[in-house]
Amino acid sequence: MENETNYDFEQEHSGEESKALQAIETAIKLPFVKVDRDEFLVKAFSKNKKDIRKLIEEGPTALYSKKELDKIADRTINSAVLKSTSISFASGLPGGLAMGATIPADMAQFYGFALKLAQEISYIYGHNDLFDDNNELTEESKNELIIFLGVMLGVTAAGSTIRILSKHASKQALTSIPKKTLTKTIYYPILKKVLKTFGVKLTKDTFAKGFSKAIPIVGGAVSGGLNYASLKPMAKKLKNEFSLTINYTEKDLRKDLEIIEGQGFKISEEVDNSL
């Protein structure tokens, strides 16, 4: 995904947006969240070995078909969900992870798994490394992860944004849409919508998960069950959106711009006149 954005995480936000940012920052700091792109790709494609050097340098889309990528993404999702669910079950039992000040520990853990899985799915479909040369997650990459999370949470315009900004579509899309125009009219507003949607969901989920822990043994089962029921469909949504970036066409671009406008995001006349 190629974009020029300096979305300020320190600017004023609504209560929901602030809570969402807090949860994201907490989840990102968990030790298991960071994904080493090269190491992951070698492992994920170990059963479909081809040119390892090309896999790392050019990405899986240079070597594998859409069908093969979809299959590997499904396998990655299933494996991640099983690990996440078992850990969530353990934290739901008495003596499990302690509750955070405002965000339950297992909820931070759940979204940590979601962000980890989002990285893995993006790498399968050819996304560049989200970490810089200093092995740090840049502000731009955090923004991209928020958009990924938006797709997982069902924010329609977030899926269109992923497709428009994917590296498979960017050359074509950006011949019609200036980067600065795209950032101002689409990217920033959608980031805010995702944060608000996430913040509202956090408030509801905090109550639901907190209630499940009030019933000791059953609480663990409920926590694990909620985890499985939520994470897998969330990951599938993101996988499907990334899958659609393969063989992206001018027709697809027009359709995504219509979807974005249909969600109430006004695209400037500069963009409309260029298409």
1 belongs to a structural domain:
no
216 belongs to a structural domain:
yes
Please name which of 110, 113, 114, 140 lies closest in space to residue 127, comparing C-alpha atoms. 140
Q: Which residues of the chain have pLDDT under 50?
A: 1-10, 89-101, 207-225, 269-275
Please name which of 10, 35, 3, 1 lies closest in space to residue 181, comparing C-alpha atoms. 3
Residues 15-28 have pLDDT tens digits of 778 888 888 888 88
5 belongs to a structural domain:
no
83 belongs to a structural domain:
yes
215 belongs to a structural domain:
yes
Angle, nearest 10°, between helix axes 188-212 and 139-152? 60
pTM for this model (two decimals) = 0.78
27 belongs to a structural domain:
yes
Domain that holds residue 73: 15-274
- Contact status, residue 267 vs residue 260, Cβ threshold 8 Å: yes
Residues 35-47 have pLDDT tens digits of 999 999 999 998 8
6 belongs to a structural domain:
no
DSSP the chain: --------TTS---HHHHHHHHHHHHHHTSTTT---HHHHHHHHTGGG---HHHHHHH-GGGTS-HHHHHHHHHHHHHHHHHHHHHHHHHHTSTTSSPB-SSSBHHHHHHHHHHHHHHHHHHHHTTPPPSB-TTS-B-HHHHHHHHHHHHHHTT-HHHHHHHHHHSHHHHHHHHHHS-HHHHIIIIIHHHHHHHHHHHHHHHHHHHHHHHHHTTSHHHHHHHHHHHHHHHHHHHHHHHHHHHHTTTT--HHHHHHHHHHHHHTT-PPPHHHHHH-
> Taken in order 38, 39, 41, 46, is the CA torsion positive or negative?
positive
Total number of domains constituting the chain: 1
Give the amino acid at 213: K
129 belongs to a structural domain:
yes
Distances (CA, A) of 201 to 16, 154, 198, 255: 9, 11, 5, 28
For residue 191, report the phi and psi dihedrals to the nearest 5 degrees: -55, -45
Q: Which tokens sit at 220?
A: 């663990």
